[in-house]
A and B are shown apart, each in its own frame.
Chain A
Amino acid sequence: MSVAEANPQTFSIEEFLEREATKELLRFSTAGSVDDGKSTLIGRLLYDARGIFDDQLASVKKSAINRSSGPIDFSLLTDGLRAEREQGITIDVAYRYFATPKRKFIIADTPGHEQYTRNMATGASTASLAVVLVDARNGVMPQTRRHAAISSLLGIPRIVLAVNKMDLVDYSEQRFEEIRDAFLAFAAAMGFSEIQPIPVSALEGDNVARRSAVMGWFQGPCLLEYLESAPVAASEDRKPFRFPVQLVTRPNQFFRGYAGSIVSGSVRRGDPVMLLPSGKTSRIASISTYEGDLEAARAPQPVTLTLEDERDVSRGEMMVHPSAVPRVSRYVEANLVWMTEEPLANGRNLLLKHTTQQVSVRVMIQSRLDINTMDNAAATTLALNDIGVVRIDASRALFFDTYGENRLTGSFILIDPVKNGTVAAGMILRDAGRSQTHTGHVTAQERHSRNGHQPAVLSLSLTSLAARLERRLFEHGCQVIALDPEAHTAALLAAGMIVIAPHASHTRAIDLDNLPWPAGEDAAVDAIMVYLEQKGVLWTSRFTRGEGI
């Protein structure tokens, strides 16, 4: 904004617009409570970067409330709701906008109190950098750890530790270093690609938009400098092509297009595509937009794609490149942030929204994260603001990447089917359908040598031929089964196998967890073998421990 004022003679609006259009956009979140001076810091950042207008400032000066010791209470610029101004706290996520000659910024300003973890997660979900505030007098608090943990969980790569109120600790370098070291002691293991500690005084403006004269000992950048230079989120267009279909466009009988946003990757006219879940393939016939047809498009462009072949594709299905398909499974394991008053009970049925599809799911709680120790403990319920690991059993297959691989195809929300509220946010960790088969200790090599063949998946959609092939392989001595791709446990049972799985929900599951086994694992396994014999699962104990053949 200062550009126009600084050079009124040489200023060219056309050049300005060109620069403006190519500026990068950085979305960052801030976390910290009002006691840490977060609103004051943002108010100061907006004011010094000129993101605040004079009449808004005047209305703050005019306000009956001034919680600061200075002439202007900067926090009043950001606390938008009446309840917030009355109580002097920030309740909800607020979005702020400002620009410097170098960059445009969107701030997700989130409250820091424990009861607002959900808001912090909301703000962090679209951010590529987080500013975590600490009061220099209090140092690292439990909430600081929580802010860092949530930022890490939501996949934010960069974090700024803003040690505020340095004016109240005599701008002490030693105090700053103590806090920095205490923070790094736990945050270093959280997987951030960069942590930048900065000592600031939001009240005085030190190291906010200008480097501090009184803290000459600090050699690093001031906050604004860092925000202007930190890399923005890794470009999504280099990842595999993902195109969830939003809606089908059929303006006339000659045009049938699939409208949606390219979530990641890019696409060219003529590219082969695979449709999920059907697995059918085709080629891109055209990439249609309001501006005309394109040769190529990339994330996050919204486009309408047409295919060379007649295919029946609906909302919720996904187009991908056949050489880089996502995971397809009805079972996923995910980190979950529980966001509503009524606690999550184990096994609850909810609606899941993932990309453009909605399915009903059953949620099995595995563990709860203690955010202070970062340990996972077994749990059967999750309360408001709890974070835990859950297994999701979906009624239809999901096509997804892990959250670490792709934020938009790895995330979901859960919706209460009765009250309609958004009750949880989830970040997918892995395909739980696959990992289940890897928990035992019988090695692949042992299985291969007993079976006399390698494991293999044979793709064959003609059912009669598949049945014939199954018979032939079985007679050849192979362990084989022809099945529906979504069958899982039922299919393995049908194959005559014994399936051991945690929390098995199958109607024929025998619950071994709650039986009184003798102490010692060997003794317990012996007892289970006898028990299975009694239940008629095993015909005879083939071997008894300690006996030779």
Chain B
Amino acid sequence: MPPLANLKALEAESIHIIREVVSEFAKPVMLYSIGKDSSVMLRLAQKAFHPAPIPFPLLHIDTSYKFREMIEFRNAYTKSIGVELRFHTNREAVDAGANPIALGTSKCCSLLKTRALLDALAEGGYDAAFGGARRDEEKSRAKERIFSFRDQLGQWDPKSQRPELWNLFNGRIDKGQSIRVFPLSNWTELDVWHYIHQENIPVVPLYFAKMRQMIVRGETLIPPEHNVIPLHAGEKPQPVMCRMRSLGCTPCTGAIRSEADTLPKIIQELLSFRRSERENRVIDHDQEGSMEIKKREGYF
């Protein structure tokens, strides 16, 4: 028999991880960001427990700045597969008008994502939380364990990580501590799209190219949704053939010019890219090592 195709090998590794968590933790939860990686992770969870339903809820940290199409997709898709969805928003910060222009991206993320996440995890009493992050996304993620230990405050200490050998994961924690689990650690962006194509996994339509209204500033395409970005004098959104390469909050996620309106076209486009997928994410570039700093504070 030929060796198991590499995507099947990645799938096997991820399913093993997801099952280990359910076996060893009392109250796991899966962070669901609605993006392509979450969609893959969700399908893997369905496979891991078939014919039983997914034995944990999904949790969406809603910053209130997500694309309308993301929220619509979230509600429809989770309902169609019969999984329990919970969501959490840092209401206090949103009501006080928190946004990336007024506060800066760093502080805005800290309030609407990290704080909201930590509060939601504490409120739910979750001892393990799945995240869809991949090691090929960013340099500090490349060094994070699959089972990533967090202290009582949800913080990551990169210098005292548990060694992780073979397929043996150590999930032992004391009360109040938790483990973040990254089943897609060894997947690349290409693997994710390839798998979505192979498995026919539904994704948010924003990933596919079509004419959309965008604020055009040189190479940068900013979605005008939520009206957070102040327009320059005489500037107004114009129709551009574009798509989103990764999905975040509307003010902080740029679109890319693209004609790719099918999965094969997206994959083909990806092969010709010479720029990384998070480049259009403003938050990673605030300062050198900014993702590491966020993760130390409790960000995913």
Do the two chains bind?
yes
Q: Which residues of A contact B (CB under 8 A)?
A: 1, 3-5, 11, 13-14, 16-17, 20-25, 53-56, 59, 63, 78-83, 85, 91-97, 99, 104, 106, 118-119, 121-122, 125-126, 232, 235, 237, 246-247, 249-251, 255, 257, 259-261, 288-290, 298, 300-302, 304, 315, 339, 351, 353-354, 356, 407-408, 411-413, 415, 420-422, 425
What residues on B are CB-neighbors of A425 within 8 Å?
A: 163, 165
A302 to B15, Cβ gap below 8 A? yes
CB distance from A292 to the nearest CB of B (A): 10
* Residue from A14, A54, A339 in contact with B275 in the complex, judged by beta carbons closer than 8 Å: A54
Contacts of A21 in B (CB 8 A): 5-7, 194, 198
Question: Contacts A4-B271, A21-B7, A289-B50: A413 and B168 contacting too (C-beta < 8 A)?
Answer: yes
What is the 8 Å Cβ interface bit string for chain B, positions 161-204, against chain A (1 contact, 0 not)? 11111111010111000000000011010100010011000000
Bound CA span A411–B274, Å: 41
30 contacts between A and B (CB under 8 A): A3-B271, A4-B268, A5-B272, A11-B268, A16-B271, A21-B6, A21-B198, A22-B2, A25-B9, A53-B274, A55-B276, A78-B142, A80-B139, A80-B292, A81-B143, A82-B292, A92-B158, A95-B185, A106-B186, A119-B163, A125-B165, A237-B1, A246-B23, A302-B12, A302-B47, A304-B50, A315-B23, A351-B172, A354-B168, A420-B174
Contacts from B to A (Cβ < 8 Å)? 1-9, 11-13, 15-16, 19-20, 22-23, 46-53, 135-136, 138-143, 158-159, 161-168, 170, 172-174, 185-186, 188, 190, 194, 197-198, 264-265, 267-268, 271-276, 279, 285, 288-289, 292
Complexed CA–CA distance, A81 and B164 (Å): 18
Chain B residues with CB below 8 A from A82, complex form: 288-289, 292
Complex Cα distance, B136 from A56, in Å, reads 12
Closest Cβ of chain A to B295, distance in Å, is: 10
Q: Beyond A4-B271, A93-B143, A250-B52, is A25–B19 a contact (Cβ under 8 Å)?
A: no
A247 to B163, CA, bound (A): 24
Cβ contacts under 8 Å, B170 to chain A? 353, 413, 415, 420-422
Do residues B274 and A25 form an inter-chain contact, with CB atoms below 8 A? no
Question: What are the residues of chain B within 8 A of A56 when measuring CB–CB?
Answer: 276
Q: Are B142 and A95 in contact (CB under 8 A)?
A: yes
Report yes or no: A247 in contact with B166, Cβ–Cβ below 8 A.
Answer: no
Residues of A within 8 A of B198 (CB): 17, 21
- In contact, A289 and B186 (Cβ under 8 angstroms): no
Hey, which chain A residues are within 8 Å of B52, CB to CB? Answer: 249-251
The answer to whether A301 touches B12, judged by C-beta atoms less than 8 angstroms apart, is yes
Known A-B contacts A81-B292, A413-B165; the reply to A261 vs B174 at CB < 8 A is: no
Please give me the residue from chain B that is nearest to A25 by CB atom: B6
Given contacts A53-B276, A247-B22, contact A290 B167 (CB under 8 A): no
Compute how far the CA of A439 lies from the CA of B174 in the bound complex, rounded to whole angstroms.
Answer: 44
Bound-state Cα–Cα, A63 to B267, Å: 31
Q: How distant is the Cα of A255 from the Cα of B53 in the complex, in angstroms? A: 13
Question: What residues of B have a CB within 8 angstroms of the CB of A126 in the complex?
Answer: 165-166
Residue in A121, A235, A415 whose CB lies within 8 Å of B3: A235
Given contacts A81-B139, A260-B19, 14 further A-B contacts (CB under 8 A): A21-B7, A53-B279, A83-B159, A97-B135, A235-B3, A246-B23, A249-B52, A251-B51, A257-B51, A301-B8, A302-B15, A304-B50, A407-B166, A420-B172
Residues of B within 8 A of A4 (CB): 268, 271-272
B-side contacts of A237, CB under 8 Å: 1
Contacting pair B185 A92 (CB below 8 A):
no
Instruction: Determine the distance from Cα of A252 to Cα of B248 in the docked complex, in whole angstroms.
Output: 39
Contacts of B159 in A (CB 8 A): 83, 91
The smallest C-beta distance from B195 to any residue of chain A, in angstroms, reads 10
Closest B residue to A423 by beta carbon equals B163
Q: Which residues of A contact B3 (CB under 8 A)?
A: 24, 232, 235
Cα-based distance from A171 to B292 in the complex (angstroms): 40
Residues of A within 8 Å of B272, CB to CB, are 1, 4-5
Flag if A104 contacts B267 (CB, 8 Å).
no
Q: Which residue of B lies closest to A3 (CB)?
A: B271
In the assembly, what is the distance between CA of A126 and CA of B10, in Å? 13
Give chain B residues whose Cβ lies under 8 Å from the Cβ of A422: 162-164, 170
> Cβ of A300 and Cβ of B19 under 8 Å apart?
no
Q: Which residue of A lies closest to B266 (CB)?
A: A13
Contact between B4 and A290 (Cβ–Cβ < 8 Å)?
no
Closest-CB distance, A510 to chain B (whole angstroms): 39
Least Cβ–Cβ distance between A56 and chain B, in angstroms: 6
Question: Which residue of the partner chain, among B49, B166, B276, contacts A125 with CB atoms under 8 Å?
Answer: B166
Q: Which of B168, B185, B288 contacts A411 (CB 8 A)?
A: B168
Complexed CA–CA distance, A135 and B115 (Å): 47
Query: Which residues of chain A come closer than 8 Å to B49, judged between CB atoms?
Result: 249, 259
Inter-subunit contact B48/A302 (CB<8 Å): yes
A17→B194 contact, CB < 8 A: yes
Taking a contact as CB atoms under 8 Å apart, the answer to whether A415 and B19 are in contact is no
The one of B1, B23, B190, B194 in contact with A298, judged by C-beta atoms closer than 8 angstroms, is B1
Are A259's CB and B194's CB within 8 A? no
Give Cα distance in the complex from A93 to B158, angstroms. Answer: 11
